Structure formats: C-alpha cells, structure tokens
C-alpha cells in the first residue's frame, strides 16, 4: 500500500471478474476520494489509479452524484460508455481474469485530502518506481 493512503480510514476493496456485474460487486461509498485497480494473477499489478471529487476555493467539496461508486461503475474508459462495459471487454482483450479495486475516501469530515492531489501522489510514486504510469492510465 502507498504510504500516502494509510491515513484515510474510510476504505474498502472488492474483486471483479469479467462475468460479474460491476454494479453489484462494487462496494465503494458515495464519498469522494481515490481508487486503485489491480490486475490479480500470481502477483498483483497496479494498472490504474482514479479519483472523484473537486475541492472548491472556499474549502468545500463538490461531489458528483454517486461519488466513488458512480465513478467506478459509470466512468468512461477505453472510449466506451461506463466501466461496467469497458472493463470486461478490456479484461478479455488482455486476458485478465480478476481485478481488485481498493478505494479510499480522502475528503470527508475527518480528513481533507484533495482527491486529485492524492491520485497525483500515488501516480508520482508509481512513475518514480517504474518509469511510467500504470497501463490503464492514459495520461495525468
């Protein structure tokens, strides 16, 4: 686990196979924060980092409807509508049998981690260690 994520107490994870319903297996909250997607094989490989929620200049949070859960299930990726459709297709294409998604609420009453800043820290650490971004992150 990345050290910058240890301070966030509202967190959980779930597994997703290509024939699962992402809507049904996703246990993410409706809060704001970051999510890490791992391809699970003999070893777990971080393949994507995402976030949701925008902090306004008055210190308040603008949450998109549904928060993390909505972003994970309905977010656009691989030029298709909704990850609930694009992830299974990409998993089959890359022969990935199982994903593990770990999510963290980074901005709530207890902690005030700007979601995109935390996402950037995790991606920076990954870049420093690997010389590239996770393969499902197109850019940052």
- pLDDT truncated to tens, each residue of the chain (140 aa)? 577 898 898 899 999 999 999 999 999 999 999 999 999 988 899 999 999 999 999 988 888 788 999 999 999 888 777 899 999 999 999 999 999 999 999 999 889 999 999 999 999 999 999 999 999 998 88
Q: How many domains does the chain divide into?
A: 1
With respect to residue 136, please indicate whether it lies within any of the assigned structural domains.
Answer: no
What predicted TM-score, i.e. pTM, was given to this entire model?
Answer: 0.94
Residue reference for tokens 């949701």:
52
- The pair of three-digit structure tokens given for residue 19, joined into one six-digit string: 């024939």
Domain holding 22, by residue range, is 3-130
Q: Dihedrals φ, ψ of 103, to 5°?
A: -125, 155
With respect to residue 140, please indicate whether it lies within any of the assigned structural domains.
Answer: no
Q: Are 55 and 114 in contact (CB under 8 A)?
A: yes
pLDDT score for 80: 72
Residue reference for tokens 């990345």:
2
- The pair of three-digit structure tokens given for residue 54, joined into one six-digit string: 């925008």
């Amino acid at each position: 686990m990345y050290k910058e994520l240890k301070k966030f107490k509202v967190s959980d994870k779930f597994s997703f196979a290509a024939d699962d319903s992402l809507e049904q297996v996703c246990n993410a909250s409706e809060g704001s924060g970051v999510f890490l997607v791992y391809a699970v094989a003999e070893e777990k490989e971080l393949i994507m980092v995402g976030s949701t929620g925008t902090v306004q200049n008055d210190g308040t949070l603008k949450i998109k409807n549904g928060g993390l859960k909505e972003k994970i299930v309905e977010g656009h990726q691989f030029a298709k509508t909704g990850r609930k459709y694009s992830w299974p297709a990409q998993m089959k294409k890359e022969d990935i049998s199982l994903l593990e998604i770990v999510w963290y609420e980074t901005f709530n009453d207890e902690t005030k981690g700007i979601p995109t800043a935390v996402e950037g820290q995790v991606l920076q650490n990954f870049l420093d260690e690997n010389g590239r971004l996770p393969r499902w992150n197109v850019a940052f």
